[in-house]
Amino acid sequence: MAKNIYIVEDEPDIREALAYNFKKEGFNTFEFSNGDDCLKAIYKKKPDVLILDIMLPGISGLDVCREIRSNEALSNIAIIMLTAKGEEIDRIVGFELGADDYVTKPFSVRELILRVKVILKKQTESSQNGGIITIGPISINHDAHEVMIHDQEVILTALEFKLLDHLLRRKGRVQTRDQLLGDVWGYSSEVTTRTVDTHIKRLREKLGETGDLIQTIRGVGYRFNNIS
Protein backbone atom coordinates (compact mmCIF):
# COMPACT_ATOMS: atom_id res chain seq x y z
CA MET A 1 0.00 0.00 0.00
CA ALA A 2 1.32 3.44 -0.94
CA LYS A 3 2.51 5.57 1.96
CA ASN A 4 1.06 9.02 2.60
CA ILE A 5 3.42 12.00 2.78
CA TYR A 6 2.40 15.50 3.84
CA ILE A 7 4.64 18.24 2.45
CA VAL A 8 4.48 21.57 4.29
CA GLU A 9 6.46 24.22 2.40
CA ASP A 10 5.51 27.83 1.63
CA GLU A 11 7.72 28.06 -1.47
CA PRO A 12 5.56 26.72 -4.36
CA ASP A 13 8.48 25.62 -6.54
CA ILE A 14 10.02 23.49 -3.80
CA ARG A 15 6.66 22.12 -2.69
CA GLU A 16 5.65 21.13 -6.21
CA ALA A 17 9.05 19.65 -7.02
CA LEU A 18 8.93 17.47 -3.90
CA ALA A 19 5.38 16.35 -4.62
CA TYR A 20 6.29 15.48 -8.21
CA ASN A 21 9.33 13.42 -7.24
CA PHE A 22 7.64 11.57 -4.39
CA LYS A 23 4.69 10.71 -6.66
CA LYS A 24 7.15 9.23 -9.15
CA GLU A 25 8.38 7.00 -6.32
CA GLY A 26 4.85 5.74 -5.67
CA PHE A 27 3.93 7.86 -2.65
CA ASN A 28 0.61 9.58 -2.06
CA THR A 29 1.45 13.25 -1.56
CA PHE A 30 -0.54 16.03 0.07
CA GLU A 31 0.69 19.62 -0.13
CA PHE A 32 0.30 22.49 2.33
CA SER A 33 1.64 26.04 2.27
CA ASN A 34 1.20 26.66 6.00
CA GLY A 35 1.18 24.82 9.31
CA ASP A 36 -2.42 25.55 10.25
CA ASP A 37 -3.88 23.76 7.23
CA CYS A 38 -1.51 20.87 7.75
CA LEU A 39 -2.54 20.37 11.38
CA LYS A 40 -6.22 20.43 10.43
CA ALA A 41 -5.56 17.73 7.85
CA ILE A 42 -3.47 15.64 10.26
CA TYR A 43 -6.29 15.52 12.81
CA LYS A 44 -8.55 14.13 10.08
CA LYS A 45 -6.05 11.68 8.58
CA LYS A 46 -2.54 10.90 9.80
CA PRO A 47 0.31 10.77 7.29
CA ASP A 48 3.09 8.22 7.47
CA VAL A 49 5.72 10.93 7.01
CA LEU A 50 5.63 14.70 7.43
CA ILE A 51 8.15 16.84 5.55
CA LEU A 52 7.99 20.09 7.46
CA ASP A 53 9.60 23.44 6.68
CA ILE A 54 10.54 25.44 9.79
CA MET A 55 9.96 28.94 8.39
CA LEU A 56 6.24 29.07 7.60
CA PRO A 57 3.64 31.85 7.57
CA GLY A 58 1.55 31.82 10.73
CA ILE A 59 2.38 28.88 12.99
CA SER A 60 6.00 27.80 12.56
CA GLY A 61 7.21 24.34 11.68
CA LEU A 62 8.69 23.98 15.16
CA ASP A 63 5.28 24.68 16.68
CA VAL A 64 3.66 22.15 14.35
CA CYS A 65 6.24 19.57 15.44
CA ARG A 66 5.68 20.45 19.10
CA GLU A 67 1.89 20.02 18.82
CA ILE A 68 2.20 16.68 17.03
CA ARG A 69 4.64 15.26 19.55
CA SER A 70 2.44 16.37 22.46
CA ASN A 71 -0.44 14.27 21.11
CA GLU A 72 -0.25 10.56 21.93
CA ALA A 73 -2.41 9.60 18.95
CA LEU A 74 0.05 11.24 16.55
CA SER A 75 3.30 10.03 18.14
CA ASN A 76 4.19 7.54 15.38
CA ILE A 77 4.27 10.13 12.56
CA ALA A 78 7.81 10.42 11.21
CA ILE A 79 8.86 14.09 10.91
CA ILE A 80 11.64 15.45 8.70
CA MET A 81 12.40 19.13 9.27
CA LEU A 82 13.23 21.16 6.17
CA THR A 83 14.79 24.59 6.49
CA ALA A 84 17.16 27.15 5.04
CA LYS A 85 18.80 27.60 8.43
CA GLY A 86 22.08 25.77 8.78
CA GLU A 87 23.12 26.61 12.30
CA GLU A 88 23.57 23.60 14.58
CA ILE A 89 21.36 25.13 17.28
CA ASP A 90 18.38 25.08 14.90
CA ARG A 91 18.93 21.41 14.18
CA ILE A 92 19.18 20.61 17.87
CA VAL A 93 15.94 22.48 18.65
CA GLY A 94 14.18 20.41 16.01
CA PHE A 95 15.55 17.17 17.42
CA GLU A 96 14.66 18.18 20.97
CA LEU A 97 11.06 18.70 19.86
CA GLY A 98 11.02 15.17 18.48
CA ALA A 99 11.92 15.49 14.80
CA ASP A 100 13.29 12.29 13.27
CA ASP A 101 15.55 14.00 10.77
CA TYR A 102 16.70 17.39 9.57
CA VAL A 103 17.58 18.52 6.02
CA THR A 104 19.10 21.91 5.22
CA LYS A 105 18.36 23.80 1.99
CA PRO A 106 19.66 23.55 -0.64
CA PHE A 107 19.31 19.77 -0.59
CA SER A 108 19.26 16.78 -2.89
CA VAL A 109 15.72 15.56 -3.58
CA ARG A 110 17.10 12.07 -4.15
CA GLU A 111 18.76 12.12 -0.72
CA LEU A 112 15.53 13.29 0.91
CA ILE A 113 13.60 10.48 -0.76
CA LEU A 114 16.24 8.01 0.44
CA ARG A 115 15.93 9.30 4.01
CA VAL A 116 12.15 8.91 3.88
CA LYS A 117 12.48 5.35 2.60
CA VAL A 118 14.99 4.51 5.32
CA ILE A 119 12.67 5.82 8.05
CA LEU A 120 9.74 3.83 6.66
CA LYS A 121 11.89 0.69 6.33
CA LYS A 122 12.96 0.96 9.97
CA GLN A 123 9.34 1.34 11.04
CA THR A 124 8.38 -1.77 9.08
CA GLU A 125 11.26 -3.80 10.50
CA SER A 126 10.32 -2.78 14.02
CA SER A 127 6.69 -3.80 13.55
CA GLN A 128 7.69 -7.11 11.96
CA ASN A 129 9.81 -8.03 14.99
CA GLY A 130 6.59 -8.26 16.94
CA GLY A 131 6.20 -9.70 20.39
CA ILE A 132 6.97 -8.26 23.79
CA ILE A 133 10.40 -7.62 25.28
CA THR A 134 10.61 -7.25 29.06
CA ILE A 135 13.77 -6.26 30.87
CA GLY A 136 13.43 -5.36 34.52
CA PRO A 137 10.65 -2.77 34.87
CA ILE A 138 10.63 -1.96 31.13
CA SER A 139 8.31 -3.75 28.72
CA ILE A 140 8.07 -3.07 24.97
CA ASN A 141 5.06 -4.32 23.02
CA HIS A 142 5.86 -4.02 19.31
CA ASP A 143 2.41 -4.92 18.07
CA ALA A 144 0.81 -2.16 20.15
CA HIS A 145 3.81 0.20 19.79
CA GLU A 146 3.66 0.54 23.57
CA VAL A 147 6.28 0.99 26.28
CA MET A 148 5.41 0.28 29.91
CA ILE A 149 7.50 1.02 33.00
CA HIS A 150 6.20 -0.41 36.28
CA ASP A 151 2.86 -0.94 34.46
CA GLN A 152 2.66 2.76 33.55
CA GLU A 153 2.67 3.66 29.85
CA VAL A 154 5.44 5.92 28.56
CA ILE A 155 4.73 7.81 25.34
CA LEU A 156 7.63 7.72 22.88
CA THR A 157 8.00 8.96 19.34
CA ALA A 158 8.58 6.37 16.60
CA LEU A 159 12.31 7.11 16.60
CA GLU A 160 12.61 6.99 20.40
CA PHE A 161 10.79 3.67 20.35
CA LYS A 162 13.27 2.27 17.81
CA LEU A 163 16.23 3.61 19.76
CA LEU A 164 15.06 2.03 23.03
CA ASP A 165 14.27 -1.25 21.28
CA HIS A 166 17.74 -1.31 19.71
CA LEU A 167 19.47 -0.70 23.05
CA LEU A 168 17.36 -3.30 24.86
CA ARG A 169 18.04 -5.98 22.24
CA ARG A 170 21.76 -5.33 22.68
CA LYS A 171 21.77 -4.91 26.44
CA GLY A 172 25.21 -5.10 27.99
CA ARG A 173 26.89 -4.29 24.66
CA VAL A 174 28.34 -0.87 23.89
CA GLN A 175 26.87 0.85 20.84
CA THR A 176 28.93 3.61 19.29
CA ARG A 177 27.19 6.75 18.04
CA ASP A 178 28.02 5.72 14.46
CA GLN A 179 26.47 2.29 15.03
CA LEU A 180 23.33 3.82 16.48
CA LEU A 181 23.00 6.31 13.65
CA GLY A 182 23.43 3.56 11.10
CA ASP A 183 21.20 0.96 12.78
CA VAL A 184 18.45 3.24 14.10
CA TRP A 185 18.50 6.16 11.67
CA GLY A 186 19.82 4.10 8.79
CA TYR A 187 22.41 6.45 7.31
CA SER A 188 25.31 8.76 8.10
CA SER A 189 24.86 12.45 8.88
CA GLU A 190 26.95 15.54 9.51
CA VAL A 191 25.33 15.91 12.94
CA THR A 192 25.97 12.34 14.07
CA THR A 193 27.12 12.99 17.62
CA ARG A 194 24.63 15.66 18.56
CA THR A 195 21.75 13.83 16.89
CA VAL A 196 22.29 10.65 18.90
CA ASP A 197 23.10 12.50 22.13
CA THR A 198 19.96 14.63 21.89
CA HIS A 199 17.70 11.63 21.39
CA ILE A 200 19.39 9.68 24.19
CA LYS A 201 18.82 12.67 26.48
CA ARG A 202 15.12 12.85 25.55
CA LEU A 203 14.73 9.09 25.97
CA ARG A 204 16.32 9.10 29.42
CA GLU A 205 14.02 11.91 30.53
CA LYS A 206 10.94 10.01 29.40
CA LEU A 207 12.10 6.79 31.09
CA GLY A 208 12.47 8.58 34.42
CA GLU A 209 14.56 6.72 36.99
CA THR A 210 15.02 3.77 34.64
CA GLY A 211 16.72 6.14 32.19
CA ASP A 212 19.86 5.69 34.28
CA LEU A 213 20.09 2.17 32.86
CA ILE A 214 21.29 3.79 29.61
CA GLN A 215 24.93 4.31 30.48
CA THR A 216 27.24 6.74 28.71
CA ILE A 217 30.58 5.16 27.83
CA ARG A 218 32.77 8.24 27.60
CA GLY A 219 34.43 8.67 24.24
CA VAL A 220 32.68 5.59 22.82
CA GLY A 221 28.88 5.60 22.95
CA TYR A 222 26.07 4.08 25.01
CA ARG A 223 25.11 0.81 26.64
CA PHE A 224 21.91 -0.46 28.23
CA ASN A 225 23.11 -2.13 31.42
CA ASN A 226 22.17 -5.64 32.35
CA ILE A 227 19.75 -5.78 35.27
CA SER A 228 20.82 -8.11 38.05
Q: Give the closest residue to 51 by CA, choosing from 92, 91, 22, 87.
A: 22
The upper half-sphere exposure of residue 49, i.e. CA atoms within 13 Å in the direction of its Cβ, equals 29
What is the tens place of the pLDDT at every residue in 183-197? 887 765 555 577 888
Name the CATH code of domain 130-224 (choices 3.30.2450.30, 3.40.1160.10, 3.40.980.10, 1.10.10.10). 1.10.10.10
Give the model's confidence band at 50: pLDDT under 50 very low, under 70 low, under 90 confident, else very high: very high
Instruction: Say what the pLDDT of residue 8 is.
Output: 97
CATH topology of domain 4-124: Rossmann fold (3.40.50)
* Domain boundaries defined on the chain: 4-124, 130-224
Q: Is the pLDDT of residue 150 over 80?
A: yes
Residues 210/192, Cβ–Cβ less than 8 Å: no
With residue 78 as reference, give the H or E element that holds it. strand 78-83
What is the tens place of the pLDDT at every residue in 105-127? 888 899 899 889 888 877 776 55
Give me the amino acid identity at 176: T
Instruction: Say what the pLDDT of residue 86 is.
Output: 62
The model's pTM is 0.67
Q: Is the pLDDT of residue 47 over 60?
A: yes
Q: Mean pLDDT score of the chain, rounded to an integer?
A: 85
Looking at the chain, the whole-number percentage of residues with pLDDT higher than 90 is 39
Find how far residue 157's CA is from the centre of its chain.
Answer: 6
DSSP state letter for 55: S
Provide the edge-to-edge strand list for the sheet that holds 78-83. 28-32, 4-8, 49-53, 78-83, 101-104
